[in-house]
């Protein structure tokens, strides 16, 4: 891969304050992109922008809640007015709700759907429309199939791995995967690429910040600690996921399972869905 394949590109990354978002913002910046680092935590977005700006062509931080449709409308307008139409959009912002379906309340569902699904819908719809408008004015170049832009939606191996522990999370990520597949078909003619990235276990803060339902007190804390310990043992940092995201953009890949367990469950979900349903019965914690 060239050292700087994204020279001159403008990249928007949501959830850029930490985890996959920060790692992706820095990876794109290192390769020549100007980065828009967006996060609901404005201070975290500023820290990412400072790091990215020191590495590459420059970066700007925005504080935005991806679940807020009006805020995202304003964000998309501000990016276009203050910069231009982005070349890359990474819809990364995400949260986790863990616990059984019957313990998961309406408020929990609305929150996770707002961030994990509506956040991806808002980012894809608003910036996708900008890319489409621009693409129609560009000359055709068959050798660059995603010249019109690229949208990356961060799904998860949970998108195709049912779990009694993660019904809300799995549901949102499965929806993101299907949305990405549909959008890829719709935008292909405009030379706009769409990728769903499906990481397995990785060392991010999503478990630390997860909402646990039906697991109060010691049981909940024990579960968090077991999860954190498992992720530390897994030793798969966000930077490795970011490298796969960069590669997916360059090669215009449709679906990218990341790390061994993501590939394994992807293959098993196709070859033996019954086995996946049996695994979903396993009680954790």
**Do the domain assignments include residue 211?**
yes
Predicted confidence at residue 221, as pLDDT, reads: 72
Say what the pTM is: 0.91
DSSP 115: I
In angstroms, rounded to a whole number, what is the distance separating the alpha carbons of residues 221 and 262?
Answer: 26
CATH of the domain at 203: 3.40.50.720
Question: Residue 108 falls within a domain, yes or no?
Answer: yes
**What pLDDT digit, counting tens, does each position of 18-43 carry?**
999 999 999 999 999 999 999 999 99
Q: How do beta strands 192-199 and 88-91 pair?
A: unpaired
Residue 200 lies in a domain: yes
102 pLDDT exceeds 70? yes
Q: Is 236 a catalytic residue?
A: no
- Quick one: pLDDT band at residue 179, thresholds 50, 70, 90? very high
Q: Look-up: residue for tokens 């993501």?
A: 262
Query: Is 5 within the bounds of a domain?
Result: no
Q: Between the CA of residue 148 and those of 89, 109, 136, 139, 252, what are the distances in Å?
A: 12, 35, 8, 10, 12
Which residue range(s) make up the domain with 274?
10-279
For the stretch 124-170, pLDDT in tens is 999 999 999 998 887 665 544 457 999 999 999 999 999 999 999 99
Q: What are phi and psi of 23, to 5 degrees?
A: -60, -40
Using CA atoms, how far residue 159 sits from 37, 176, 226, in Å, is 25, 8, 22
Q: Rounded distance, CA 100 to CA 212, Å? A: 9
Question: What mean pLDDT do residues 78-92 have?
Answer: 98
Question: Residue 224: is it exposed, middle or buried by C-beta count within 10 angstroms (0-12/13-18/19+)?
Answer: middle
**pLDDT > 50? residue 258:** yes
C-alpha 174/C-alpha 197 separation (Å) is 12
Q: Is residue 197 part of a domain?
A: yes
Residue 87 is assigned to a structural domain of this protein: yes
Which residues is 102 bridged to in the sheet? none
In a domain, 22, yes or no: yes
- Reported as a single tens digit per residue, the pLDDT across 50-66 is 999 999 789 999 999 99
**Both tokens of residue 165?**
């522990």
Give the total number of structural domains in the chain. 1
In a domain, 4, yes or no: no
Nearest to 198 by CA among 267, 282, 97: 267
Angle subtended at Cα 26 by Cα 159 and Cα 24, rounded to the nearest 5 degrees: 10
The mean of the pLDDT values for the chain is 91
Q: Where does the pLDDT of residue 224 fall: very low under 50, low under 70, confident under 90, or very high at 90 and above?
A: low
């Amino acid at each position: 891969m060239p050292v700087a394949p994204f020279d001159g590109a403008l990249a928007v990354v949501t959830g850029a304050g930490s985890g996959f978002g920060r790692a992706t913002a820095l990876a794109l910046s290192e390769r020549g992109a100007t980065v828009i680092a967006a996060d609901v935590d404005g201070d975290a977005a500023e820290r990412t922008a400072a790091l990215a700006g020191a590495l590459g062509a420059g970066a700007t931080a925005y504080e935005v809640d991806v679940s807020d449709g009006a805020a995202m409308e304003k964000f998309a307008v501000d990016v276009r007015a203050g910069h231009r139409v982005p070349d890359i959009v990474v819809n990364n912002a995400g949260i986790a709700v863990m616990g059984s379906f019957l313990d998961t309340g309406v408020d929990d569902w609305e929150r996770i759907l707002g961030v994990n699904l509506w956040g991806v819908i808002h980012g894809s719809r608003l910036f996708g429309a900008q890319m489409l408008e621009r693409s129609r004015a560009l000359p055709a170049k068959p050798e660059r199939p995603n010249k019109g832009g690229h949208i990356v939606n961060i799904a998860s191996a949970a998108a195709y791995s049912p779990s009694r522990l993660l019904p809300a999370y799995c549901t949102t990520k499965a929806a993101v995967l299907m949305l990405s597949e549909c959008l890829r078909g719709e935008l292909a003619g405009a030379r706009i690429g769409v990728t769903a990235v499906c990481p397995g276990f990785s060392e991010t803060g999503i478990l630390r910040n997860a909402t646990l339902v039906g697991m109060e007190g010691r049981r909940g804390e024990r579960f968090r600690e077991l999860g954190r310990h498992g992720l530390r043992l897994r030793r798969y940092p966000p930077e490795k996921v970011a490298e796969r995201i960069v590669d997916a953009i360059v090669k215009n890949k449709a679906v990218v399972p990341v790390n061994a367990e993501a590939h394994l469950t992807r293959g098993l979900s196709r070859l033996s869905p019954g086995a996946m349903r049996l695994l979903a019965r396993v009680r954790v914690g």
